[in-house]
Structure 1
């Protein structure tokens, strides 16, 4: 298993964002799992007029947190492959001006959680979220799979 499951009473959320340059849109992919590795939620969401990789990664974090707050989640470990975003959110690095509005909104949403930790994972450990983000170019708004996942990520889920 590439990733490790979260501790008991925690959930783990892998997040990724990708930009489709010529199409003037981007995609967000998220997958939420429990301590047994069971998929609780998978989602692909399209975002329009986002053309910077740094911006879509922060927007992906924000969208993922929004989904989790609507589900009443209290303890969350969020994994992503963008080390810079993790350093910004862990107050180890100052965000550039373009990302400041995203960071402010994320910090507001974080108040809902009892605890939320941000961890870096290499691309190989974030493959499922990456595939879901790439799939978003087929989505009109958002596709959500509750307590299951789409067939096109089954091999990546199994390998993870």
Structure 2
């Protein structure tokens, strides 16, 4: 796998049980990260955001199936940035009354994908 300096972005959307949008946020960062590490960093930020908003029962949908498998099975290694971020996310998940992590294809959440895409665009002055 190639590691390179790159920008990464994420879009997070909070919805209620009816699917109505309650809140949305974008974030971006850069670093020497693999794609999975960027995904794990974004997950950690989203979980912290949900904690800050004092949500209690959440379902987190992400488009990285390997990350969902790693967290749900507890097979993440702590010998990498990925493992550290996944462990931190796992610990944040335990702070909710209910927190379920599940995989969805990117097309399954077009709003979050569009937010992530826009996070990398230059800001208006």
TM bucket normalised to smaller = 0.7 to 0.9
The answer to whether 1:84 aligns with 2:66 is yes
Tell me how far 1:88 sits from its aligned partner.
0.8
Tell me how far 1:72 sits from its aligned partner.
0.9
Q: Is the 8 A contact 1:50 1:56 kept in 2?
A: no
The answer to whether 1:49 aligns with 2:31 is yes
Superposed, 1:11-26 pairs within 5 Å as 24-26=6-8
Structure 2 segments unaligned to the other structure (5+ residues): none
Give the whole-Å Cα distance in 1 for the aligned partners of 2:72 and 2:122. 32
Deviation digits for residues 35-88 of structure 1 (CA, Å, limit 9, x no counterpart):
121111111111121532101111111000011001111110011111101101
TM-score, normalization: structure 1? 0.67
Give the match for residue 70 of structure 1: 52
Give the match for residue 120 of structure 1: 103
Structure 1 segments unaligned to the other structure (5+ residues): 1-20, 141-160
The answer to whether 1:110 aligns with 2:93 is yes
Give the whole-Å Cα distance in 1 for the aligned partners of 2:122 and 2:83. 28
Q: Is the 8 A contact 1:25 1:50 kept in 2?
A: no
Residue 95 and residue 37 in structure 1: after superposition, are their counterparts in 2 closer, same or farther (change >3 A)?
same
TM-score, normalization: structure 2? 0.84
Tell me how far 1:105 sits from its aligned partner.
1.0
Give the whole-Å Cα distance in 2 for the aligned partners of 1:73 and 1:86. 20
Deviation digits for residues 128-156 of structure 1 (CA, Å, limit 9, x no counterpart):
2111111111367xxxxxxxxxxxxxxxx
Q: Is the 8 A contact 2:76 2:87 kept in 1?
A: no
Q: Find runs of 4+ consecutive structure 1 residues off by over 6 angstroms.
A: none
Q: Is the 8 A contact 1:86 1:120 kept in 2?
A: yes
Give the whole-Å Cα distance in 2 for the aligned partners of 1:80 and 1:108. 17
Q: CA RMSD in A?
A: 1.9
